[in-house]
Amino acid sequence: MELPEFITQAKENLIKKPWGRNWIPKLKGLEADKIGESWEFSAHPSNPSYVLINGKQISMIDLFSAFKRDLLGKLADKYNRFPILVKLLDIEDKISVQVHPSDEIALEFKENDIGKDEGWIALSEGKVYVGLREDLRPEEISRIVEKLNAFNAEFLDSFKIPAGTPHFAENIRLFEVSTNSNITYRIYDFYGREPHLEKAIRALNFKKTPETDIRSEKGNLRMEKFCAEVLKVSGVLSFEIDTFNILLPIEKDITLKGKEQKIELKQGYSCLIPARTKNFDIEADNALVIRVYPLR
């Protein structure tokens, strides 16, 4: 079996949340409610996505196992799991105040996952809280909400959230990209769920986080391990790649052309482009497309 130049999901991977709404289904032309998350090309064992390969459904985990080098290209020797997790979030009210561990802290707690670095691109206006505006002592953790940097996010504002950075958001739509981990330590939950204070305190960076360490260029989220950029496509954009890309049009449909394959990709639906594709074109009429790829 050979990988096609463009890989699409066999079915959507939608997650209901108490803070979810209906924007994600509307974006995709579906009907559902209370959808808080859409996992795009997830190779995480807790919630894997399924893709279509020559008319057959296969999980992203099995796809990676069978086609690691075709997918990752120059990075194939670096990873023993698919390196990136991509999500859409639709948040009504608030998500929990949380922190993700580093690789070292995840190992210390004998987690089944690696550590988690993540970043957000705002797809609407809303409130984002990332990092501390002043140093915090562990005994002051109950005051963490009032100690967080607060941002009035605008469309395509980008925020970096490396491991150890406390964060939450409210009344906003987000594009999230992270390392392929699903570890979240709740510090405080607005819905009464139990916090994970012992682990959170161990994982947390209690030092002030300067805004320059949080904000990324508008529509261009660049972190140590991955990049997500918003492309404005009017006409044709051409790309040469040496590792995989994930594309998600957020405004208007697009056309993708490779050497042998051409597909139409609808707004709200994502496409995985393996390294073996090497060259592809995006054609569109004033579309906005998010492009994600690993950096190392």
CA distances from 171 to 114, 119, 126, 153 (A): 29, 17, 5, 10
The H-or-E segment that residue 14 falls in is strand 14-21
Minimal CA–CA distance to 216: which of 291, 149, 161? Answer: 161
DSSP 3-state of 6: coil
Cβ-proximal residues to 195 (8 Å cutoff; 6+ apart), any chain: 185, 186, 187, 188, 189
Residue 165 · residue 103 · CB < 8 Å: no
Residues 6+ apart with CB under 8 A from 30: 12, 14
d(CA 235, CA 223): 29
Closest residue by Cα to residue 274 from 100, 126, 66, 26: 66
- The residue from 69, 137, 173, 186 that is catalytic is 186
Q: Are 119 and 158 in contact (CB under 8 A)?
A: yes
Distance of alpha carbon 155 from its chain centroid, rounded? 16
Q: Which 8-state DSSP code applies to residue 209?
A: -
Closest by CA position to 23, among listed 142, 126, 99:
126
Please indicate whether residue 215 is annotated as part of the active site. no
Measured distance CA(107)–CA(58) in Å, rounded: 30
Active-site residues, by number, are 186
